[in-house]
Structure 1
C-alpha cells in the first residue's frame, strides 16, 4: 500500500482536482491507496476569518461562508455528471447549514472556544475529501472514510496529541477489512475520546498521512504539493535553488523546523520509526523526480540545504547574579512553558553571564512581561538585568548530516555573511553538527540566503549586482562592455554580473533580476524620476549581496554620497576623481569606512584611465617599497592637445577636437587649468602614504587669467580665440629649442607640482603620442631605472575598461 497526501494548492479548483484524479488513477493500477487531502486552497484560512468576524459581531462572516459554499458547488458541477450532482450538493449544503449555525452561535455569544474553532476549521477537509471521493468513484474503485472515526487524540482541540495505540488499532482493523482499491480520507481532523472534533495543528494533513502510513506499514508516503520537492533554499527568494534528490529523515526534520514549508515537521516522526520512505512530488509536474526522504542519504555534499524562519525575537537574560547560580535556566524555561511559548533557538555564554532564546515575535511582549515578573527580586537587587528584547529577526540555518565530517563550514558561512555586512546576533550549533544556525535581521534574510546558496551550491559562480549612475560616453561604453562579455565572464571566470540599477541626471530604472542591456536606453527613457537620494534608497532597500555602486560621472554631488553606500556595505567603483582629491579628512574617512564595513572602494581610473597605475602603486607599498619620486604625464587630453597643436592650427580648434573625441572632462577648463592633473598627482601621493591637500600642489598654469576666470564653456572657448597669440608663443618657444610641450606632474620629497614643460628629445616623455599617459616610479627598489607604465590615458573605451577591471578585482577579492 501507498499513502498519498495532496495539499491545498493541489485541490484548489476543478482543474487541479482533475490532475489529482489522474495521478491517483495512474498509481492505483499497481498499488492500493490511502489518499489524504487538505481543504480546497485557502478554505481553512477563510473559515477562521469567518469565525473571527462572527465573534466581532461582523455580519460579513455570512458572505465568506456563502463564497466558500459556492466554490465547492462549482467544483461539483464541473467534475460530476448531472445525474450524480444533486445528492452531493445537498450533503454539502447540509454541512454549510451546520457551519452557519456554529458561526451564528459565535456571533450571539461574541466568543469562540477552542472546541468550536476546531470544529469549524475542520470543515474544509471534511468537504474536500467527500467531494473528491465522489469524483473518484465515477471511474475508480474508491470509498470515503472520515478520519475522525480512525484517529484518536486528547482533548487539546487545536493541536491535539495522537493516541497512537488506539489509532493504530483502528486503522489496521478498518483497512484489513476494506476491499476498495482507493480510500479517500480528510487530513488535519481527528476526534478525542468523548467524540468531539479535534485538529492536529496547522499543516496537520501531512501529519495525518504520516499517521496512516505508519499504522499501515505502507510501502511509501507520498506528499504531493506545488513544488518539485525540498529545495536547497526557498526558491521564491533564491532563484538559483534546486530540488534535493535525496535527503535523510534528520535533515528533513531540521529543514522543516527551520522554515521549509514543503513538509510539516511532526510528519516525519511516525514514518521514521518504521523507516517508511517519504517522496515529495509536484502535482503539476509529476514527471519531476522530487525529493526522497529515507533513513540514510548520499554522502555527496556536506550541506544539503539552507532554510530560515522569519519574524523571530531574541530574549536575553543576563547579569552577574547568574554566574554560578543553579536553576536560572530552569526558571526561565518554566516561565516560557507555562505560557505555551515555543523556544526555537537557545544559546548561552560559557561564562553563564547570559542566556539568549529565540521565540516568535507574536509571543515576545508576553514573554518579556512574564520573565521580568519571575525574576523581579533579582532585577530589583541588580543581580539580573531586565530582559533585553530584539524583534524582527530571522534564523538562517545550514543543514546536512555530513557537516560534522567537513572542517571549516562555520568559517565559510560566517565569512560569506561578513563580507556582505550581514550582522549575526546569535549563533547556535547542536552537538550533532547537523545544523548551524545564526540569527540576523529580517531585512538581511534575502541577501543572506542568496549569499550562502552561492557559497555552498553554485559551483563558485559569484553574482555581482551593479548600480550604475552616469551613462554618457564612459557609462555607455561600460554597459556595452558588460553586455558583450557576460557569457565569457560566466564561462571563464564564473562571474554572473547583473546590472540592477541605471540612472542619469533625470531618470532611473531598477530590475532585481538584471536590466536588459540590449535595450537599456529605451527602458531608461521611460524610467521614473531620479535623484541621488532616491537612487541610493532604492539600492539600499534591495539589499542585494555583492552590490557595487558605479559612478561614471565627474559630478561633485555624486562623489559626496559614496560614504552612504560604503556604510551600507555597497562597494564603490568610480572614475570620478573629486572624492579622492577632496579634503584629506574626507579621503581618509572613505578609506576607513570602506575597511570597517568591508565595502570595496576602487578608483583605478582616477589616474591613467585603464592603465594599472594605482594598482601597481598599491602593490609596491603593500610589499614594503617606498616611493622616492614620481614623474608623470597624466593628462591624456593635454597630451592630445599639445601633440596636435602647431602653427597651422589654432589652439581653440585642437581643444574643441579633444572634447569632441571624449578626451576632456565635460568642462575642458578642468583639464587645461591643470586642476585635473593636480588631482591625479595628489591621489598618487596619498596612495604612496603622504598626507597632502590639493592646495599643497603647486600649479603653474599656462592659461591666461581671463580664461581661468570664465564660468561657462562658451566664454572659455571665446577666451582661447582671444589669446591665440599667447598659445602660439608657447609653442614657438618650445619648437625653437627642439622640445615638445608636455604637461608634467612631479612628486619629490613630499612635495608636488604640475605645469607645462619643455621636453628634450632624449627624455622618456618626448615620444609620448596621442592621448597617452606615462608614469615613472622611482622607489627604493627602482632608484635609477624607474618602473614605467605607459599607454592610452584617456577616452571612453579605456576608461570604461578600467572601471570594468575594478569590478573584476572586487569579484576576485
Structure 2
C-alpha cells in the first residue's frame, strides 16, 4: 500500500444499504466524483440485507439458516437445501444488479464456486464427525465463520465488478481466508492484503468478514464487520473512519418523536457512542470503537442516501461546552429481574453468582441497581433464557425471592448532563405529561439518565423527554405533548 500521509478514509456500508446497489453508485461509491476524487478511500462491505440471516439464523425471529440446520443433530441434510436456497438468492441479487449478461454470468460463477466449495467442506466434515474420534461441536465456530464469509465475499465481488463496469479501478480485497494455507492475526491479514494496493489510483472493496487467528465471531458474533473497519483504519493510518447507514444519527427516533422536531447530532464523543450501544442503538460496536478512540481516529456516521449531509462526527477528544442532552432513546421490552434475600446483608457472593448465571445463559445486561438485600438487573433476552437463570438461582439460593417483570427503559444521553437542573427538568416534564416512573438511574458519571417506565408509557416518555430536554428545555404540559404527537 503506497500512501505515506493519512489522506484516505475507511468506509463501511451496512447490509440494508448494500441491497440498494444502484443508488449507492449515485451517492457513496461514485456520485459526482471524477478522476482522483474517486480514490483514497477503502470500502468495507457487509453482506446484502437478509443474506446473513439465511446463512446463519434470523437475527430477530431466530428462524434457522444453513448454520443452525447444520449444527442441529436433528437437521440431517436439510442444511444442503437451505444452502441451495442461498445460492438462488445470490443469483437473484446478481440479476437485479447486472443488466449485462457477461457480468451477470461472472457474478454467478463466483457465487457458485464459493457455495459449492462450502457445501463440499460441510459434507466432508459431516462424514468425519460420524466417527466418534471427531466431535462436530469443536468445529462449529469455524463453520459459522465460513458460512458468514459467503455473504461478504458475494457483495464485495459484485461491488468491485459493478464499479469496474462504470469505469472505476476497483478491486476486491478478500479477507475471508478462502483457500489460504496459513493463518494470520487480523492486523497481519490486513497488511498483507493491502501491501500492493495504491490508494491513489485504486479503490479497494474489502470483505466485512476477516478470517484471522482471533476468530472474530467468537467475540463479536455478527458485529465483526465493524471490527474489520476499525482495524483497517488503524493499520492503514486513515484520517477518518466512516459508517454509511440508511438513517442519520439523530436526537430521537423519528417514528416516535415528530420528524420535524428531530435533528441530526452534529458531533459527539465515543463515550456517548458506548451508551448508545448499551441501549441497542449501535453507532459502532464498543470494542471496535476502542481501536479508533485509542488511535485518535474520528468516526463519521452518515446517511448513505444523503451524500451532501456531513452526518455525525464522533471523536475521542470532544468534551461538552455545557451540560446538554444530545439524544433520547430506549428499549421498549426489558425484563426487570429482581433478586431479594434477607440474608444478603453483609454477605459476599450473591452478585457474582447472579452474574455467572446471566453469562452462562447469554443474557444481555443493560443496567443494574442494588440495596442492602435486593439486586435488580435490567435484562434483554429471551424469556426462555431468563427463566433458566431464575431456575439456577432458585436452586442455589432457596430462601431468595425472585421476581420478573416486563418494563421499558428510556435513556437521555449526553457528554455532560451532570447539572442538577437536568434531573429536575426530566422529572418535571414527566410529571407534567402524567408519567410516573418506576425508577430513575442517575449515576455519578454524568453521561446518561435512565428512566424505568411501564411499557405503555414508552413512546410518551421519549416524546416528553425529547420535548423538555432537547427541543426547548421548558416544562411540557400534557396538552403540548399530545399536540406534538
Report the TM-score when normalising by structure 1. Answer: 0.50
Instruction: Identify which of 427, 440, 443 aligns with 1:427.
Output: 440
CA contact (8 A) 1:209 1:221 kept: yes
In the other structure, the counterpart of 2:231 is 211
- Describe how 1:372-771 pairs up with structure 2 within 5 A: 372-376=394-398, 379=399, 385-391=400-406, 393-404=407-418, 406-459=419-472, 498=483
- Quote how far apart the aligned CAs of 1:93 are: 1.7
Distance 2:101 2:234 in 1: 39
In the alignment, is residue 313 of structure 1 matched against residue 326 of structure 2?
A: no
In the alignment, is residue 187 of structure 1 matched against residue 208 of structure 2?
A: yes
In the other structure, the counterpart of 2:391 is 369
Distance 2:467 2:478 in 1: 13
- Quote how far apart the aligned CAs of 1:280 are: 0.9
In the other structure, the counterpart of 2:23 is 16
In the other structure, the counterpart of 2:5 is none
- Describe how 1:105-254 pairs up with structure 2 within 5 A: 113-138=140-165, 139-149=167-177, 166-180=185-199, 181-192=202-213, 200-228=220-248, 230-239=249-258, 240-254=261-275
- Quote how far apart the aligned CAs of 1:101 are: 5.4
In the other structure, the counterpart of 2:109 is 90
In the other structure, the counterpart of 1:810 is none
In the other structure, the counterpart of 1:274 is 295
CA contact (8 A) 1:171 1:212 kept: yes
Change in CA separation of 1:261 and 1:33 when aligned onto 2, cut-off 3 Å: same
In the alignment, is residue 330 of structure 1 matched against residue 352 of structure 2?
A: yes
RMSD across aligned positions (CA): 3.5
SS in 1 for 2:211: strand
Distance 1:235 1:93 in 2: 41
Distance 1:430 1:358 in 2: 15
Q: C-alpha deviations, 1:636-669, integer Å up to 9, x for none?
A: xxxxxxxxxxxxxxxxxxxxxxxxxxxxxxxxxx
Distance 1:36 1:176 in 2: 17
Please identify the structure whose Cα radius of gyration is greater: 1
- Quote how far apart the aligned CAs of 1:277 are: 0.8
Distance 2:291 2:32 in 1: 23
CA contact (8 A) 1:347 1:426 kept: no
SS in 2 for 1:313: strand
Distance 1:448 1:10 in 2: 31
Distance 1:445 1:344 in 2: 16
CA contact (8 A) 1:463 1:497 kept: no
Report the TM-score when normalising by structure 2. Answer: 0.81
In the other structure, the counterpart of 1:668 is none
Distance 1:63 1:419 in 2: 58
In the other structure, the counterpart of 1:29 is 37
SS in 2 for 1:293: strand
Distance 2:408 2:190 in 1: 40
Change in CA separation of 1:66 and 1:171 when aligned onto 2, cut-off 3 Å: closer
SS in 1 for 2:405: strand
- Quote how far apart the aligned CAs of 1:326 are: 2.4
- Quote how far apart the aligned CAs of 1:94 are: 1.7
CA contact (8 A) 2:432 2:475 kept: no
Q: C-alpha deviations, 1:302-347, integer Å up to 9, x for none?
A: 1111121232211111122111112322232233234443322111
Change in CA separation of 1:464 and 1:16 when aligned onto 2, cut-off 3 Å: farther
- Quote how far apart the aligned CAs of 1:289 are: 2.3
Change in CA separation of 1:61 and 1:397 when aligned onto 2, cut-off 3 Å: same
In the other structure, the counterpart of 1:779 is none
Gaps in structure 2 of 5+ consecutive residues? 1-7, 58-63, 131-135
Distance 2:459 2:121 in 1: 42
CA contact (8 A) 2:52 2:148 kept: yes
- Quote how far apart the aligned CAs of 1:436 are: 1.4
SS in 2 for 1:403: coil
Distance 1:24 1:225 in 2: 20
- Quote how far apart the aligned CAs of 1:53 are: 5.7
Distance 2:216 2:292 in 1: 27
Distance 1:345 1:198 in 2: 24
In the other structure, the counterpart of 1:638 is none
- Quote how far apart the aligned CAs of 1:299 are: 2.0
SS in 2 for 1:408: helix
In the other structure, the counterpart of 1:40 is 48
CA contact (8 A) 1:118 1:199 kept: no
- Quote how far apart the aligned CAs of 1:390 are: 1.3
Change in CA separation of 1:102 and 1:24 when aligned onto 2, cut-off 3 Å: farther
CA contact (8 A) 2:429 2:464 kept: yes
Change in CA separation of 1:115 and 1:174 when aligned onto 2, cut-off 3 Å: closer
Distance 2:397 2:482 in 1: 54
SS in 1 for 2:305: coil
CA contact (8 A) 2:176 2:209 kept: no
CA contact (8 A) 2:95 2:104 kept: no
SS in 2 for 1:147: coil
- Quote how far apart the aligned CAs of 1:31 are: 5.1
- Quote how far apart the aligned CAs of 1:61 are: 2.8
- Quote how far apart the aligned CAs of 1:26 are: 5.8
Q: C-alpha deviations, 1:206-237, integer Å up to 9, x for none?
A: 23211211222210001111113x11112222
- Quote how far apart the aligned CAs of 1:196 are: 10
CA contact (8 A) 1:125 1:186 kept: yes
Change in CA separation of 1:176 and 1:107 when aligned onto 2, cut-off 3 Å: closer
In the other structure, the counterpart of 2:133 is none
Change in CA separation of 1:334 and 1:63 when aligned onto 2, cut-off 3 Å: closer
Distance 1:27 1:33 in 2: 13
SS in 2 for 1:201: helix
Distance 1:497 1:342 in 2: 34
Q: C-alpha deviations, 1:400-448, integer Å up to 9, x for none?
A: 12212x2222222233234434343343333211111122233322111
